[in-house]
Chains A and B, each alone.
Chain A
Amino acid sequence: EPEVTQTPSHQVTQMGQEVILRCVPISNHLYFYWYRQILGQKVEFLVSFYNNEISEKSEIFDDQFSVERPDGSNFTLKIRSTKLEDSAMYFCASPAGGFRNEQFFGPGTRLTVL
């Protein structure tokens, strides 16, 4: 199965601090996605990114969030000023082939905001 990697696996931060979550998607694909899952809740779409710009974003993805592709292989999600309610698992996803809906997920970063 194609592999998506994410770092760190666990991030603990203080409320109000900035965090950057990193993802290395499946290579040679232009579409990237971020999702999050609050403990005990469903996986929710945050943002899709295509050709170096945001394609769609959800209501959750407010001005505190941003995404970047700083180089050819990494894809980052930044939360500028974390809130307690940002505590969740954050997943990066990437299609492997021609079907963008066939998305493979990374192992996730568990973000804990204190």
Chain B
Amino acid sequence: QKEVEQDPGPLSVPEGAIVSLNCTYSNSAFQYFMWYRQYSRKGPELLMYTYSSGNKEDGRFTAQVDKSSKYISLFIRDSQPSDSATYLCAMSVMNRDDKIIFGKGTRLHILP
């Protein structure tokens, strides 16, 4: 079983729709959960950062973490064509090294 699993997509939705992106993981030691957005041939851009279980909202973005199910989600409300990108889930363990383990990314297309 891979450490972090993410459906690569592509996922196409019409403008204005709610987008749901998800990841599952196997390592119960993960405590920090992130979502990055990456445009083609660019660096990952940190969107959301959460610790342990629960929800976090920032504008149109909501991140959810369910540690009991080892499942994390990112919701995008009122999606815009500019949201078209690859979304990477990422997570790490609280230790001295703090390396981030990434999912493979989901390609998202918002159709105007």
Contact = CB atoms under 8 A, between A and B. Distances in A.
Interface of A: 1, 4, 31, 33, 35, 41-45, 48, 50, 55-56, 58, 89, 91, 93, 95, 99-108, 110
B102 A42 contact: yes
Interface string B80-98: 0000000010101010111
A108 B96 contact: no
Decide if the interface of chain A is mainly helix, strand, loop or mixed: strand
Given A31-B98, A101-B32, A101-B94, 5 more contacts: A1-B46, A33-B99, A41-B104, A45-B101, A48-B99
B98 A100 contact: yes
Given A31-B98, A45-B101, A107-B43, A102 B88 contact: no
A29 to B, nearest CB: 12
Interface in B43-62: 43-46, 49
Contact of B99 (A56, A102, A106): A56
Given A89-B41, A91-B44, A108-B43, A103 B97 contact: no
A103 B98 CA distance: 9
9 contacts: A42-B88, A42-B103, A45-B99, A48-B98, A55-B96, A58-B99, A95-B98, A101-B34, A103-B100
A7 to B, nearest CB: 13
Given A42-B105, A43-B88, A101 B100 contact: yes
A33 B105 CA distance: 20
Nearest to A43: B102
Nearest to B46: A104
B97 A110 contact: no
B102 A44 contact: yes
A12 to B, nearest CB: 15
Contact of B41 (A100, A105, A110): A110
A102 B49 contact: yes
A33 B41 CA distance: 19
A56 B97 contact: yes
